[in-house]
Amino acid sequence: MNSIVNIVIQGVLLGALYALFAMGQSLMYGVMRLTNIAHGDFIVLMVFILFALTNQGHVPLWAAIPLLLLIAFGAGYAMQHALLDRVSGRDPLPSLVVTFGLSVVIQNVLQEVFSADPRALATNGFESMSLSLPGGIAIGLLPLLTLAVTLAATLALQWLFGCTSLGRAFRATSDDREIVQLIGVLPRRTFALATSIAFVLIALAGALYSMRTAVSPSDGPGLLLYAFEAVVIGGMGSFWGTFAGGVVLGMAQQFGFFFDPGWGIWFGHLLFLAVLAVRPQGIFPKTA
C-alpha cells in the first residue's frame, strides 16, 4: 500500500516536470498549429544560457533566472517574427522542416561552444533536500517546487486564454488569420507574443530541469519526446489536459521503475502508444 502511495506521489512530481516541458509546445500548437521539433533543443539552449550567465557571467542564480526569462521572451518574439512566421500556415510541413533544422543547428552550436560534457546547475544542495512523510515517503523540495511552478503556469495560461482580451485574440487568430485583422488584431504580433510566452515556459522548464540533473547539448530530442507524449496523452489544445498528460506519463514511468529500474521510460512509451491506439484524441480533448 505504502509503495503504491509512493509511486503516485513520485509520479505526480516527475509528471509535473514533463507537463512543464509540454506547456510551451501545447501553447505553440494551440495558437499557431505549429509543431516545434526543436522544442527540446530550445529547453537545452535555455539551460546553457543559464550556465553561461552563472558560470561565465558570474550572475547569482536568483538574478540569473529572471534574466533568463527576459532573454527567453525576447528570443521567442524574434524567432517567431523573423523565422517561424514565414512557415506557420495551413501546411504543417514547412514548419516541421525548419524546426528540425533548428534542432540540428542548436545541438551542434552548443557542442561547439560548450563541448559535449553534461553539466548541472549548482544550487547549494537544494536539489537533494526533502521532506519526510510518515511511512518512509520522502518528497524532494525541488520536485515540489517544480509541481508548484507547473500548477501556477497551467492556471495562468488557462486564465490568460479563457478570461482575457489577449487570450481571446490568440484563439481568434488561431481560428481565422484573415478575419481577426478586421477587429483590429495584428496576427504577426499576436503570434510573436504567443511564442514569447511559450519561450518563457521553455526557460522555466530548462532552469528547473538543470537543477535536477546534468544536461548535455544532445539531450533535446529526448525532452521533446516527453513533451510530445504529455501533449498527446492529455489531448491537444487544453492546458489542464497537458498537465494531466504529464502527470499520467510520470506515473506510468514511476510504475515501471518500481518493477525494474530499466522499465520506467519504457512503461511511459507503452502508455503513450496505448493512448494513441485506444483514444487518439487524448484523455481531455478540448480546444482551450
- 43 HSE (CA, 13 A, CB side): 33
**Phi, psi at 138, each rounded to 5°:** -115, 135
For other proteins, the binding residue among 168, 212, 240, 269 (CB under 8 A) is 168
Nearest CB to other proteins, comparing residues 189 and 269? 189
185: nearest Cα among 171, 200, 198: 171
Considering the rule CB under 8 A, would residue 112 count as an interface residue with other proteins? no
| E strands in the chain | 130-133, 137-140
User: Applying CB under 8 A, which part among 21-29, 136-144, 184-192, 243-251 lies near other proteins?
Assistant: 184-192
| CA–CA distance, 193 with 213 (Å, rounded to integer) | 30
Considering the rule CB under 8 A, would residue 281 count as an interface residue with other proteins? no
Considering the rule CB under 8 A, would residue 287 count as an interface residue with other proteins? yes
The site map against other proteins for 15-54 (x = CB under 8 A) is ----------------------------------------
User: Applying CB under 8 A, which part among 87-95, 102-110, 180-188, 200-208 lies near other proteins?
Assistant: 180-188
The one-letter code for the residue type at 202 is I
Considering the rule CB under 8 A, would residue 169 count as an interface residue with other proteins? yes
Considering the rule CB under 8 A, would residue 192 count as an interface residue with other proteins? no
DSSP letter for 85, please: G
Find the DSSP H helices in the chain. 2-32, 39-51, 61-82, 93-114, 141-163, 165-175, 187-212, 220-234, 239-259, 264-278
Nearest CB to other proteins, comparing residues 190 and 254? 190
Nearest CB to other proteins, comparing residues 34 and 71? 34
For residue 139, give the 3-state DSSP assignment: strand
Considering the rule CB under 8 A, would residue 179 count as an interface residue with other proteins? yes
Distance of CA 196 to the CA centre of its chain: 13
Considering the rule CB under 8 A, would residue 117 count as an interface residue with other proteins? no
Considering the rule CB under 8 A, would residue 185 count as an interface residue with other proteins? yes
Cβ pair 209, 193 in contact under 8 A = no
For other proteins, the binding residue among 3, 115, 181, 213 (CB under 8 A) is 181
The set of cell numbers assigned to 77 is 518574439
For residue 238, give the 3-state DSSP assignment: coil
Nearest CB to other proteins, comparing residues 119 and 168? 168
The set of cell numbers assigned to 231 is 501533449
Compute the Cα dihedral for 145, 151, 155, 156 and give only its sign. positive
For other proteins, the binding residue among 97, 176, 222, 270 (CB under 8 A) is 176
Nearest CB to other proteins, comparing residues 3 and 181? 181
Residues that bind other proteins (CB under 8 A): 165, 168-169, 171-172, 174-176, 178-186, 287-288
